[in-house]
Chain A
Amino acid sequence: MTESVSVRVQALQKSFWDESRGEVRAVDGIDFECHQGEVFGLLGANGAGKTTTLRMLATILKPTGGRASLNGHDVLTEPESVRRSLGFYSASTALYPRLTGRETLEFFARINRFPGDRVTQRVGTLIERFGIAEYADARVEKLSSGMKQKISIARTIVHDPPVLIFDEPTVGLDVMAALEMQRVIRELRDEGKCIIFSTHIMSEAEKLCDRIAIIHQGRILALGTLEEHRQATGQHYLEDIFVHEVMAAEGSA
């Protein structure tokens, strides 16, 4: 793992207005950094603030406080540059059903400013890499969910971004597809990508993440390697570590 910082988050906040609850702090001043060649895990229950954090990093949402930068670009002042440096994958980033896989990859490469003269070659390489040649020219709407998943991952990395965000990428996938996803994420880390990976599945975080931040009610309760978490809590399994941190936070609240 190199020490080059690709993502820096400082005191990041996000408040929403909810009709019944009034102002809600979905993210409440979080700090972390993520480096090249690292898988950084955001581990939290549903509603902990993971997706909101990642959406702010992807400039889909605007922070209401704090700062964040990707690859040196500020999310508030340089949103287009941030998105160019980023591949964003989540359960809610679907593909255009009426485009073919190849057209999808070409579109996302071009719109994310991948050099025009290399788009065809890049798309061909990814089609080969993910084994989607057989159905690359079929419309996405005709494909199975496994095939779509492969095209989605290829779509996320087609412009060769240095930072990748995977927001609960295995939600709804069967075991084999989830394992395939984990394999791809490892490969991408080995290629030097900075990967932020959010999940509520402990085993996934344990297997994939170099460092893990436990997030609860919009705050990071603990951050470190699995070994550091074990030492800090005296627990061995991540599930126990998670419960320990959450209970401690709620006890002190």
Chain B
Amino acid sequence: MELLIFYPLAGLCVIFALGVVFNKNPIGSAMSLIAMMLGLAGIFVLQQAHFIAILQIIIYAGAIMVLFMFVIMLLNLKGDDAVWKKREKNTLLTVLTGLLIAGVLYKVLEITSAGEFDSPAHVLETFGTVREVGTILFTEFVLPFEVASILLLVAMIGAVVLAKSKVD
């Protein structure tokens, strides 16, 4: 039953991910990315991580992609834009990036296939609930959590300073 839902979802994710790369239109790419993130959220739900799935939708598909769309619409990027066209011609960069990603993927595959896969680990009833995620976030991973929040704060202040036309 789970596989019956997993394979269509995973397939759709891959198709939409390819759509992001191959789409001629920036808005089309952004829409494919949103669809792919919704697919990922579906896979999270399948893994019993409901909270993470909802966060995936709220933060990535909701907040961040709205900003992307906002920027694309404000810049009024069209498919025939010179900068957008450039990416099709840069063969050297394309090949290098492809090789780099292939290398990383190979390494990941090597690591993951080295270990043995048993039947799925027993999942606790509380797994993936808001309480559980919150508790872990504020006890075990409190340092990375705080560092990330300070980083975001600094970035936000930097953006405000840059956006101001005159620093007084």
- Do chains A and B stick together as partners? no
